[in-house]
Amino acid sequence: MTVSDEAKAVHSAYPAVDLHADTLMWTRWLGYDLHTRHTPPLPLAAFGGHVDIPRMREGGMSAQFFGLVSLPLREKGAGLGRAVDEQIDALHEAIERRPGALRLVKHADEILACDREGRISALLGIEGAHALEGNLDRIDHFARRGVRYLGLLHFSANEAGFPAYGRGRRDERGLTPWGRELVARCEAASVLVDLAHINRQGFLDACELATRPPIVSHTGVLGAFEHWRNIGDDQLRAVADKGGCVGVIFCPRYVGGDGLGPVVKHLLHILDVVGEDVPALGSDWDGFIVPTSPLKDPTGLPRLTEALLAAKVPERVIGKILRLNVLRVLGEA
């Protein structure tokens, strides 16, 4: 797809913010260098190697939320929280090597400052409360280290509740008492509650409890494609009612096919159901997925802007999808 001058101008005016990429897992595991442009060796850019600073710059990105995972990275005898701390350490090491290229930030105004300085903003989010190891005080530790959101669940049950899919799945059960307290502790620490991967009842419980905007960092929507990974219109409304936002994933398996069309379909469905203040980007790059081919890495993001313009989405609304909804939620949190 050729990117028009109009799309380039819109994309330049609203440099993108993505809610979820698991790149630091590969940095911590394999020494993956954020400062080096990579070409993934596997067919279709399978599983990882999607994100680095050169390609973020080429794709017109402003900021990337890096998901911090624990369960796949746990070594024998090591705690789950340690795996998260080591990924944060890996980000700090990358920043120290080239501080003019990358900065760890927490707030929306810091992202704007980095935009002016020509630096990429890095933000942190934990994928799964397993990393707390049952200790609510750990959320304060991670907040001090810069974590801005906590996903309550991942692919297995934990002290907070039950996954939408995976080990310990129990669809009829909602948040546990510990999980309910965790929502309050996150809000007290100015950590956003992320509802990716949690089952429907726990999702709705968390939204009912929320006094600050929740997010769904990476997901599809059932109204665009039926899949266990995706959320329903009632869940969209629950997030919207609390002022939150929902990042659309770039995985063909979850959006219903390869290409830009399925991704745009999910974004349009969110617009139709809950309006322009909710949709955002939640790629899941580097998260053991094969991304849709036009969005196999950040360099494809201007094509998404072109596709949204072709779908008659107004420039102002595209700006909200690309960045402004996430910046608003960060500010309100």
* 256-272: average pLDDT: 98
Q: What are phi and psi of 255, to 5 degrees?
A: -95, -10
Neighbours of 275 (CB within 10 A): 13
Helix axes 177-188, 200-209, angle to 10 degrees: 50
How far, CA to CA in Å, does 259 sit from each of 274, 296, 331?
Answer: 24, 10, 33
* pTM for the structure as a whole: 0.95
* 247-263: average pLDDT: 97
Q: What are phi and psi of 158, to 5 degrees?
A: -145, -165
Which residue segments constitute the domains of the chain, with CATH numbers given?
5-332 (3.20.20.140)
pLDDT at 43: 52
pLDDT at 78: 58
249 DSSP assignment: P
Chain centroid to CA 184 = 21
Asked whether the beta carbons of 14 and 319 are under 8 A apart, the reply is yes
pLDDT at 42: 54
114-147: pLDDT as tens digits: 999 999 999 999 999 999 999 999 999 999 999 9
pLDDT at 76: 44
